[in-house]
Structure 1
Amino acid sequence: MHILYLNCPFSGVGLALCRRLLEEDHELHLCLACRNMSKAEAVRTALLASHPTAEVSTVQVDVSSLPSVFQASKELKQRFQRFDYVYLNAGIMPNPQLNIKALFCGLFSRKAIHIFSTAEGVLTQSEKITADGLQEVFATNVFGHFILIRELESLLCYSDSPSQLIWTSSRNAVKSNFNLEDIQHSKGQEPYSSSKYAIDLLSVALNRNFNQRGLYSSVACPGTVLTNLTYGIMPPFVWMLIMPIIWLFRFFANAFTLTPYNGTEALVWLFHQKPESLDPLVKYLSATTGFGSNYVTSKKVNVSFVSLKRLLLGS
């Protein structure tokens, strides 16, 4: 069984996921698609040391760069005949800014748990333009993945044995932050949220276009995990200060998975499912109880069918 993992798992959810997948099947061939090859080789060596019967390979790709995506897809088509799973986990949240006023107002409102679970309305980002002339977040989180998928169609579309795309989405994917007229979110301040909603929408569109050819797509959310991404929002000592509040909220909301291992629950669960049995309009969520037990829950994707139709028709 061959798995392409997009985004080198140096730490966090990515590394925890790769370890859990190799524990589920000791004979997997896991291909790590990464930008930094020296770090990729270090991860490869570590994974093989703990799972010597597995196969772990690497390929260089920067999903924010179209030439890099095309080169990587060319190399993958030369090296592999098919991929059974593709984990699309590469993503950035550049220069996050926390709206302290909105956060504290939300803390004492009826939406406190929702705001802490999703960061809706309290988190903005500023980004730059890539060498290809695209908004950085859109290029990295969405467009580079999409181009790679289209380039690898010959390795993914087998009607007799389905392949599955598994996207890392977010509870922060908010419909109101997405506009098909500004799909790159160049005029807004929440490109991360917009990109994650675009992923949800794109996954539904891919299912409608490719299910009959044996390719299925699902979206998952790891929940609120303390990683380099969240430490970019607030420094570690601040997270430690508010940890008692988070532990309390955990009894009322399941989004606070906190550890990378817990965050992989939905991603690993999807590995065991028959893709054709999954609901294409559902997002699968890693969840943790107040007592620390992990489970998978789901929610309907808030899809705009008008946007979906326009996306499918290209108009």
Structure 2
Amino acid sequence: MQPVVLVTGASSGIGSALCKRLLREDAGVRLCLACRSMQKAAATKAVLLAAHPAAQVTLVRLDVSSLESVLRAASEIQRRFQRLDYLFLNAGIMPNTHISFKALISGLFSGKAVHMLSTAEGLITQEDCITADGLQAVFETNLFGHFILGLYSSVVCPGLVMTNLTYGILPSFFWKLLMPIMWIIRFFTKTYTLTPYNGAEAQVWLFKQKPESLDALMKYHSCTSPMGKNYVESRKVDVEEETAEIFYQKLLELEKHVLARLNAPLSPK
């Protein structure tokens, strides 16, 4: 039986790269691209079919920053496929990001340069906004919209990847100046994956694992060696199990509240 794979945020960046890599791993998968922009999703589908003409690729509109869109997409997915074998919760946004050029310049010539460039600590300030559902946009898009689908999932980290999100932080000429430095930093920081292809390494690794072998309290990191070899490294999530359980219960309470407001049935957990 052909596995059914759904990828949210599949129209660009890591999501698009993941779709390409999944078809290379198994050209027989039934791949569904769940995206906010159908125009971009159609363009990604065309690229995938150009490389894999026999691939089964379908589209569904899903905006995880809108609960109505999530519920509508969930019903459509259930009607189309009856089941999902793999679901990659890839869609996400960044807050409105500003960079401190003063901190950047002073940090580059200090002993904390690697730490600053690896973590952006003291370098970047971020501003969020509120969605139509009354929630913080980053929280709803990156977490809660996916949670409403009613799933447990493994946590992955793609590392530092250059996508349209990260390129939007600075003018293009600054990135041209910084890229040589970033390639040098890769010799010291394995999480500088840089390309979407490399950033999708942990997701592809999970595609090959048995669910029962995975630890819910581990995060799976995409890593790239100085010579460009991709591999996955697991690290314990930096949160206590008791704290995670409290957070999960809070999410359930929020789910009941927002779904009651939308007069929608509660998705099973």
Q: TM-score range by the shorter chain?
A: 0.7 to 0.9
CA–CA distance in 2 between the matches of 1:310 and 1:105? 41
Shift of 1:43: 1.8
Deviation at 1:252, TM superposition (A): 1.1
Give 1:288 shift: 1.4
Q: CA deviation at 1:100?
A: 2.9
1:96-116, Cα deviation, whole Å (9 max, x unpaired)? 111334444444454432331
Cα distance change, pair 43–244 in 1 and its aligned pair in 2 (3 A): closer
Alpha-carbon displacement from aligned partner over 1:251-300 (angstroms, at most 9, x marks no partner)? 11111111121111111111111121122222111111222222222222
Match of 1:249 in 2: 185
Cα offsets for 1:162-221 (capped at 9, x unmatched):
xxxxxxxxxxxxxxxxxxxxxxxxxxxxxxxxxxxxxxxxxxxx4xxxxxxxxxx21111
AA paired with 1:126? E
User: Counterpart of 1:40?
Assistant: 41
In structure 2, what is the Cα distance between the partners aligned to 1:265 and 1:256?
13
Quick one: which amino acid aligns to residue 17 of structure 2? A
Aligned mate of 2:5, from 3, 6, 27: 3
2:155 aligned with 1:219? yes
Gaps of at least 5 residues in structure 2 are 254-269
What residue in structure 1 maps to residue 262 of structure 2?
none
Cα distance between partner residues in 2 of 1:36 and 1:265:
25
Over 3 Å counting, the alpha-carbon distance change for 1:250 and 1:312 in structure 2 is: closer
**Contact kept in structure 2, 1:31 and 1:56, CA below 8 Å:** yes
Which moves more between the two structures, 37-46 or 247-256? 37-46
Q: How does 1:166-185 map to 2 (within 5 A)?
A: none
TM-score by length of 1: 0.74
Q: Secondary structure at the match of 1:299?
A: strand
Determine if contact 1:63/1:69 at 8 Å carries over to the other structure: yes
Give 3-state SS (helix, strand or coil) of 2:71's partner.
Answer: helix
2:10–2:19 CA contact under 8 A, matched in 1? no
Aligned to 2:235: 299
**2:205 alignment counterpart:** 269
Q: 1:312 to 1:230 in 2, by over 3 A?
A: closer
Contact 2:94 / 2:165 at 8 angstroms: preserved in 1? yes
Name the CA distance, whole Å, in 1 between partners of 2:197 and 2:112.
Answer: 28
Distance in 1 (CA, whole Å) between partners of 2:164 and 2:109 is: 27
SS, match of residue 57 in structure 1? strand
Match of 1:96 in 2: 97
TM-score under structure 2 length normalisation = 0.85
C-alpha RMSD over aligned residues:
1.9
CA distance in 1 between counterparts of 2:224 and 2:237 reads 20
| Count of aligned pairs between the two proteins | 249
Moved more, 136-145 or 297-306: 297-306
Change in 2 beyond 3 A, CA 1:120/1:275: farther
CA distance in 2, matches of 1:129, 1:238: 30
SS at match of 1:3: strand
1:244 & 1:39 partners in 2: Cα distance? 30
Name the CA shift for 1:72/1:107 in 2 (closer, same or farther; >3 Å). same
Structure 2 residue identity aligned to 1:301:
V
CA positional deviation for 1:47: 1.3
1:129 maps to: 130
Partner of 1:52: 53
Give structure 1 stretches of 5+ with no counterpart.
154-205, 207-216
1:247: Cα distance to partner? 2.1
Assess, with a 3 A threshold, how the Cα gap between structure 1 residues 109 and 307 changes in structure 2: closer, same or farther.
farther
Report if the CA contact (8 A) 1:2-1:29 is conserved. yes
CA distance in 2, matches of 1:258, 1:26: 26
| 1:70-119 per-position Cα deviation (integer Å, ceiling 9, x unaligned) | 11111111111211111111111132111334444444454432331222
Amino acid of the residue matched to residue 220 of structure 2?
A: Y
Per-residue deviation, 1:4: 0.8
22-31 or 11-20: which moved more? 11-20
Q: CA distance change for structure 1 residues 244 and 312 in 2, over 3 Å: closer, same or farther?
A: closer
1:309 aligned residue (242, 245, 250): 245
Q: Does 1:258 align with 2:194?
A: yes
2:154 is aligned with what amino acid? S
| Separation (CA, whole Å) in 1 of partners of 2:180 and 2:39 | 38
| Preserved CA contact (<8 Å) 1:8 1:35 | no
